[in-house]
Amino acid sequence: MPGTTSIDQSQRHSQSIDESTSSVEYMSRQAVIQIGVDALNEAGSDLICSICIKNGGSCCSGCSFLVDRVGCTNRNTSCTAWLCGFLKYLFYASGHLQEWEGFWRQVPGQGFREDRTPELFNVKKPLRIPNIRRLSEALANDLQELAAQRIAIGFIITLRDKIDKNIDQLNHCKNDPRKRSRIERNIKVLSSPFHHFQQELREYLLSNSSTCAT
């Protein structure tokens, strides 16, 4: 998984991500993968992934490209673009899921744990994900506390998958307000144990609204 970076490093990553994808027409496969890895790194994915892995929920489990003590030996566009339920919720709640998905829709040839992405292809939309690492830290704290409570065997992984399923369903009911409202309520209930995250999210959204107003 991506390594931990400091806030200063994250800010530099954010700037480089923005600059490397602005006003571009063609981009290499490796450059797109690196942009995705840097964005996830900055967002704090490693903090959340570590909780899942400790609870037996590694998304890379069983992959033939995963080597013990080495990690992934075949990083590709599809695995870089993919988000688990918790990372998807992080981006959804902070308002950046559409940004993430919109960027990766430009990348052709994505499969399951592999890709057939061309070495060079057209990219028009940049990826702009701000520093949300504090949100990840808060969510990781919530997940750690839930895991310590031992509510049920596999609870963390079941919760992750339920959140993932509900957020995915939102994409299929854009023209059905009643169904969308029901799914959003489901997500709110599923995420109700995330007390640290909700507090940090309120501060994050308040800070963003104040910045936009100035």
Determine contact, residues 86/48, Cβ cutoff 8 Å. Answer: yes
Mean pLDDT score of the chain? 86
The 10 Å Cβ neighbour count of residue 87 is 24
pLDDT reading at 16 higher than 50: no
For residues 160-169, give the mean pLDDT. 96
| For range 81-103, the mean pLDDT | 97
Q: What is the pLDDT of residue 57?
A: 79
- pLDDT at position 11: 44
Higher per-residue confidence, 15 vs 51: 51
Q: Which structure tokens are listed for 142?
A: 């919530």
C-alpha angle 134-137-139 in degrees, rounded to nearest 5? 110
Average pLDDT (89-95) is 97
Q: Are 127 and 21 in contact (CB under 8 A)?
A: yes
State what percent of residues in the chain have pLDDT above 90.
65
Residue 20 has pLDDT above 60, yes or no: no
Instruction: Tell me the mean pLDDT in the region 47-76.
Output: 83
Of 9, 47, 59, 214, nearest to 144 (Cα)? 47
CA–CA separation, 14 vs 16, rounded Å? 6
CB 190 within 8 Å of CB 166: yes
Q: What is the mean pLDDT of residues 47-60?
A: 86
Q: ∠ CA(36), CA(42), CA(45), 5° rounding?
A: 80
Q: How confident is the model at residue 23 (pLDDT cuts 50, 70, 90)?
A: low
Q: CA–CA distance from 4 to each of 12, 19, 45, 52, 125 (Å)?
A: 14, 22, 9, 16, 27
pLDDT at 62 over 60: yes
Q: Give the model's pLDDT for residue 214.
A: 52
